[in-house]
Chain A
Amino acid sequence: MFNTIANLQIGEKAFIEKLCLDNIPLKLLEMGCLPGIEVQLIQRAPMHDPLYIKVNGSHLAIRKETAEKITVVK
Chain B
Amino acid sequence: MNNDKVVKVALIGNPNTGKTSLFNQLTGLKQKVGNYPGITVEKKQGFCKLNDTVKAEIIDLPGTYSINPTSLDETLVLDTLLNENNDTFPDVIVVVVDIENIKRNLLLFTQLKDLKIPTILVINMIDQMKRKGININVPVLAQKLNAKVVLASARKNLGVEELKSVILKYKELDTTPVSNISVKIDEGYFANLKKAFPEFPLYKSWLLITQNQEFDFLTENQKKLVAKFRKDIECIKRYQHKETIFRYKVINDILKDSFDVDKSKATDLRGILDRILIHKIFGYIIFTLILLFIFQGIFNWASYPMDVIDGAFANLSSWTKVVMPPGTFTNLIAEGIIPGIGGIIIFIPQIAILFTFISILEETGYMSRVVFLMDKIMRRFGMSGKSIIPLISGTACAIPAIMASRNISSWKERLITILVVPFTTCSARLPVYAILIALIIPNQRVFGILNLQGLTMMAMYLIGFAAAIASSMLLHNVLKVKSKSFFVIEMPNYKVPSIKNIFYEVVEKTKAFIFGAGKIILALSIVLWFLASNGPSTFKNAEKTIKAQTENTAISQQEFQKQVASYKLEHSYIGYMGKTIEPVIEPMGYDWKIGIALISSFAAREVFVGALATIYNVESDDDNNSTIKERMTAEVNPKTGESRFNFPTGISLLLFYAFAMQCVGTLAIVKRETNSWKWPILQVVGMGILAYISAAAAYLIFS
Contacts from A to B (Cβ < 8 Å):
21-22, 25-32, 34-35, 42-43, 45-47, 49-50, 52, 56-63, 66
Contact = CB atoms under 8 A, between A and B. Distances in A.
Contact of B372 (A22, A34, A52, A66): A52
Given A30-B65, A50-B372, A52-B372, A62 B487 contact: yes
Contacts of B103: 32, 56-57
Contacts of B70: 25-27
Contacts of B284: 46
B35 interface: no
A59 B375 CA distance: 17
Contact of A29 (B100, B245, B487): B245
A51 to B, nearest CB: 9
B114 to A, nearest CB: 14
Contacts of A66: 486-488
Given A29-B244, A50-B487, 13 more contacts: A21-B237, A25-B488, A26-B68, A26-B237, A26-B240, A31-B65, A31-B104, A34-B245, A52-B274, A56-B248, A60-B490, A61-B372, A66-B486
Contacts of B385: 50
Nearest to A44: B280
Contact of A43 (B104, B241, B274): B274
B104 A61 contact: no
B487 A63 contact: yes
A42 B274 contact: yes
A52 B488 contact: no
B238 interface: yes
Contact of A52 (B100, B278, B280): B278
Contacts of A59: 270, 490-492
Contacts of B66: 26-27, 30
B486 A63 contact: yes
B283 interface: yes
Contacts of B375: 45, 49-50, 61, 63
B487 A26 contact: no
Interface in B230-245: 237-238, 240-241, 244-245
A45 B373 contact: yes
Nearest to A36: B245
Instruction: Label chain B's interface by main secondary structure.
Output: helix
Nearest to B245: A34
Contacts of A27: 65-66, 68, 70, 486, 488
Interface residues of B, number: 37
Contacts of A50: 372, 375-376, 385, 487
A63 B70 CA distance: 16
Contacts of B65: 27, 30-31
A57 B244 CA distance: 16
A56 B70 CA distance: 21
Instruction: Label chain A's interface by main secondary structure.
Output: mixed
Nearest to A27: B70
B318 interface: no
A27 B278 CA distance: 24
B541 to A, nearest CB: 71
A42 B68 CA distance: 28
B368 interface: yes
A31 B488 contact: yes
Contacts of B280: 46
A28 B372 CA distance: 16
A27 B107 CA distance: 11
Contacts of A21: 237-238, 240-241
Nearest to B375: A50
B201 to A, nearest CB: 20
A68 B491 CA distance: 20
Contacts of B68: 26-27, 30
B368 A61 contact: yes
A46 B373 contact: yes
B133 to A, nearest CB: 14
Interface string B364-383: 00001001110111000000
* Residue among B237, B375, B492 with the highest chain A CB neighbour number at 10 A: B375
Contacts of B491: 52, 59-61
B489 interface: yes
A61 B371 CA distance: 9
30 contacts: A21-B237, A21-B238, A21-B241, A25-B486, A26-B66, A26-B68, A26-B241, A27-B66, A29-B244, A30-B68, A31-B104, A32-B103, A32-B104, A34-B244, A45-B375, A45-B376, A46-B376, A47-B376, A49-B375, A52-B274, A56-B248, A57-B104, A58-B101, A58-B104, A59-B270, A60-B490, A61-B371, A61-B488, A61-B491, A66-B486
A21 B68 CA distance: 15
A25 to B, nearest CB: 4
A21 B242 CA distance: 10
Nearest to B252: A56
A59 B369 CA distance: 12
Contacts of B104: 31-32, 56-58
